[in-house]
Structures are given as structure tokens and as C-alpha cells.
Structure 1
Amino acid sequence: MAVSTDVDLDAHFVEPTGTHRSTVILLHGTSQTGPEFSQPFLNFTLPFHSTSLNPITNTNTTLALLFPHTRWVFPTGHRRKTTVFDGNITNAWFDIHNFSDRTIGECDAIPGLRRSAISLTRLIASELAFLGPDGNLVIGGFSQGSAMSIFLLLSGELESLGIGSGNGGVAGVVKMSGWLPFRRQIGEVIDQITPEDGLSRRKAVRRYVRNLLELEEMECEDEFLDVPVWLGHGEADEKMKLHWGVEMRDMLSAIGIDVSMSTYPGLAHWWDEREMGDLVEVLKRMLS
């Protein structure tokens, strides 16, 4: 069903068939909507047999069947001018100038990154309150949604909710076919740290991202959301080049984030049984 949340984002919710114990929030790619993204994603057929999570007996299943206690949330990005689509208005988390080189016009992404980070933080806060203290929540996305979810993690906005070393219900981040906005600038921030600064890489990057997005200073700068990040990427992805995903993995690792990556020969800018199968195993660990 499509509903309007109490924040400034519309979202599509798929409710669990069993008792609600976990939530997964997934962000769509450029020019999509939450419902459009949810349909092929949740309806993708997986060749799995019976599992401990869902005692089915046939040979095919879906994510919704495998995780009967999970609420799936697919928010829709704000309507905005998207340069790469000739300036037409589309649903996007931030502006993109060029699909072949994501650094072109990167500064024009800042207003969207800021607004989306604030809106998504409010949505996550609402979902955490709805989920309750004993549940786990995973954040992620595909393509531009992947980039948005990792920038949200680096921004410190989740820590602004009071989520830090205790995690506050956030259990991980899953990203498919993405890249890291402002990767080169973040690398420069890391390279410029000196012992005299007294800064960790995590703190320096968070300060940079918050200043970039003109977000308020953190009250408790030493709190970090220490959760695993999983990246999935097709090796034949021409729209989101594999080396962009590798560069993101290496940068996140350099920052000090627990990151792992799986790549898939022959896979273009989509997902397949191999990647979805790996995603299932990752979600099992994060939501357990």
C-alpha cells in the first residue's frame, strides 16, 4: 500500500505476515519511485528450498516469504530537476549531471543530499519507534539509493537520533550497484589528517560531510554507528562501473567501517539469483 508518512517523504510499505520483528528500508534508483522499485525487488523469484526462517516446501520463494517477520519500506525521493535527464523533474535523492562521470556537477548534488538526509533520518526515527527496542532495522538501496544510504551513514544523522555504540536498532547497511559521492574529497580529508589534529578518520569524514551538507554540529562527536556494510555489484555494470564500487569499498575500509563486497561476473545494472541469494544471507545475519 502507498501511504504518506508523518515526514515529507511518501513511502510504500509491505507489512510482515507474522509478528513484526524487523524493518528493512530500501531506496530506489534515479527517476524511480518506492512502489516501482518494490515490485521487481520483492517479487524476484529465488530458487530456495525450506529454510529455518520460513518452512516452505516448494523450490521457489521471495524475500517477503523468507522474512515473514520483516516490514519492508520503500520511500520515494523528492521530485526535483535532474540534469542527466535534460533537466526534467523526476523522483531522485539528489541531482546527477553525468552517468559516465559521477564527479561532473557534483556540487549540484548537495541540496538534494541534505534534504534527503534530513527526511530519511526522520523516516528512520519513525520506523525505529514503530519497531520498538527489541527489533532490528537495516537501511540500503540500489544505484542512487545505494549512494544515498552510505552518505546518510557518513553524515552522522543517525547518531543525531541518539544511535551510537548501542546501535539503537540499526543493524546494518546493504548497498547494490552504488558509488560514493564526493569520494575524492573524502580521500583528501583523510590524507590531510595529522597527529596534531587529534581526529580519527571517522570523525574527520563526518565533520566534512556535515559541513558540506550544512548540518548542525554534533553534540557527542565520539559516538559512531558501528554496523556492517555489505556491497553487491555486477562486474558487467556499464551504468555503475565496477571500479566505482571497489573505490567505495576501499574508502569505507580506510575510514574504519566494517565493509564487505561481493561481485558477480556477467551481471549488468540489475540483480540476479546470485546477488539476491547473498543478500538473503547478509540480511539473516543482520536481522538475527
Structure 2
Amino acid sequence: MCGNNMSVPLLTDAVTVPAGERETAAVIFLHGLGDSGHGWAESLSAIKLPHVKYICPHAPRIPVTLNMKMVMPAWFDLMGLSPDAPEDEAGIKKATDSIKSIIEHEVKNGIPANRIVLGGFSQGGALSLYTALTCQHKLAGVVGLSCWLPLHKTFPQAACGINKDISILQCHGEADPMIPVRFGTLTSEKLKSVVTPSKIQFKTYPGVMHSTNQEEMMAVKDFLEKVIPRV
């Protein structure tokens, strides 16, 4: 599980927001189902730290079972949105390898792995959690917004262990009709069996649906300032 399949092509298809000064850290942020990296590049630009480069990849377009097999940007197939729904294990692992190849690329270009944060919203947040826990590089942290942990039944066994002490910020809207906040709570509980419980922050936002708000984005900014401070 900890191995890395380096034959996966790089996701060169990404929006990159360069740092305003010398780049000493990077945030790789993954959008949700049917979306692209553009909106998140804009949202992250609004809370930008000057020494951080933001990379917002675009997911490939694939047929999604949940949406009557319509072809749309998706990191992996979704069969359902309940904790017991069948999961696209092969697709999740393939997507994980793509994200790991972006991490490798940044490390080769001089950004240490422990200065890289993975993050994402909804399906992208799910993928960022799974990738961080199975990654063989020690990362700075993970941000999971309105999401869940894919293949949750395989944990803690599937975890690589190197990120046992990783800092995790999980945020969820309390009025989310797509991924109910209960799934966020279950995910947070599950994560405590995989990483040091004191490293997990789970914040919920009253009235927020399947989206984010200003307060949540400020929580993300505060988290980034803590885990990838200016050198």
C-alpha cells in the first residue's frame, strides 16, 4: 500500500497560483465532483500566504454511476453517498497514484514533502485524506472540506504509518444535504484510529450547505499558517 506507482502520468492539467516571494511550501488542492481547479485557485488566492505555491489540478472526465453514467470531471467513480455504498477501489487507488506523482514532482523541484499540504473539497477532500494516509512521504498536513474517508473499512491497516502524526483540519457544513455532517463526524472518529487524535480538528458550521463560507476559509488560512509557516 505504501509503494508508489511512478508510471502514472503527471496531472499537468492544473491551475497554479505561484507564490508572491520565494516558494518554500506548496498546497495541492483537489476540487469536488463535476468541478475544475479554477474556482478553488480563486478561493485560495483570497487567503494566499506569500511563500506558498497553490496547485489546483483538474480531475479527468469519466462516467459517474451516481449521475446516471454522465461523463464529468471526477477523481474516481461514485456509486452512492452513504457510508455503506460500494466503492470504486481501483479508481481511488489510480487517482491516489496521480496525486502522489504531483507530490513527487514538487519534492524533485525542491519543496520538501514536510512543507506540502494536501487538501480538497467533497470528493477531492476524500481523495486528499486517502492519499495522505497512504503516502510514503511525511507531509505537513491535510485539509478535508465537506468530505469523507474512502475505503474506510481498510483503515487503520491500509495506512502507511509515516503520517501517523499528521495535522488534519476537517470542516463541514451542518446543513449539508449531499454529504451529511454525520458522515464528517464518523470520518473524524475513524481518523482518530489512524492518526494521533490530538492532531485532528473537526469544525462544523451552522447553516452551511455543501459549500464553504468566509469563516471556514479563514480556518483554512490559520491552519496553513501553523503547518507551513514562513521559513
Q: Normalised by the size of structure 2, how large is the TM-score? A: 0.87
C-alpha distance in structure 2 between counterparts of 1:286 and 1:248, whole Å:
21
Distance apart, 1:94 and its partner CA: 0.9
Bigger mean CA offset, 125-134 vs 9-18: 125-134
| Match in the other structure for 2:147 | 178
Q: 1:42 aligns with which of 37, 40, 44?
A: 44
Taking the aligned partners of 1:68 and 1:77, their CA distance within structure 2 comes to 26
Q: 1: distance between equivalents of 2:53 and 2:193?
A: 33
1:282 aligns with 2:214: no
Q: Is the 8 A contact 1:96 1:102 kept in 2?
A: no
Opposite residue 119 of structure 1, the aligned amino acid is S
Question: Shift in Å at residue 112 of structure 1?
Answer: 1.5
The offset of 1:9, in angstroms, is 4.7
Q: C-alpha distance in 2, partners of 1:181/1:250?
A: 14
Q: What is the one-letter code of the residue matched to 2:158?
A: V
Shift of 1:115: 1.1
Contact in 2 for aligned 1:22/1:131 (Cα 8 Å): no
In the alignment, which residue of structure 1 is the partner of 2:96? 117
Q: TM-score normalized by structure 1?
A: 0.70
Taking the aligned partners of 2:55 and 2:193, their CA distance within structure 1 comes to 31
| Structure 1 residue ranges, 4+ long, deviating more than 3 angstroms after superposition | 131-135, 221-225
Return the match for 2:34 from 24, 31, 36: 31
Q: Deviations over 1:142-187 (max 9, x none)?
A: 0000110111123x2x21xxx2xxx3xx21011110012233x24x
Residue 75 of structure 1 corresponds to 57
Aligned counterpart, 2:174 = 235
Other-structure match for 1:209: none
* Residue 24 of structure 2: aligned partner: 21
One of 105, 112, 115 as aligned partner of 2:86:
105
The whole-number CA distance in structure 1 between the counterparts of 2:75 and 2:218 is 27
C-alpha spacing 1:71/1:86, structure 2 compared with 1 (3 Å): same
How do residues 191-230 of structure 1 correspond to structure 2 at under 5 angstroms?
202=156, 204-206=157-159, 223-224=162-163, 226-230=165-169
What is the rounded CA distance, in whole Å, between the counterparts of 2:44 and 2:163 in structure 1?
Answer: 31
Q: How many Å apart are 1:277 and its aligned residue? A: 1.4
Which residues of structure 2 form unaligned runs of 5+?
Answer: 1-8
Given that 1:35 and 1:74 are in contact with CA atoms closer than 8 Å, whether structure 2 keeps it comes out as yes
1:270 is displaced (CA, Å) by 0.8
CA distance in 2, matches of 1:134, 1:239: 33
Calculate percent identity across the aligned residue pairs. 27
**Residues 150 and 222 (structure 1 numbering): CA distance in 2 closer, same or farther, change over 3 Å?**
closer
Q: How many residues align?
A: 220
Question: Does residue 1:260 correspond to 2:207, yes or no?
Answer: no
Q: Match for residue 63 of structure 1?
A: 47
Q: Aligned match of 1:149 in 115, 122, 128? A: 128
Structure number with higher helix proportion: 1
Bigger-Rg structure (1/2): 1
C-alpha distance in 2, partners of 1:124/1:142? 18
How far apart, CA to CA, are the structure 2 residues paired with 1:285 and 1:250? 23
User: Which residue is 1:55 aligned to?
Assistant: none
2:218 is aligned with what amino acid?
G
Q: RMSD value over aligned CA atoms?
A: 2.2
In the aligned structure 1, how far is the partner of 2:175 from the partner of 2:122?
14
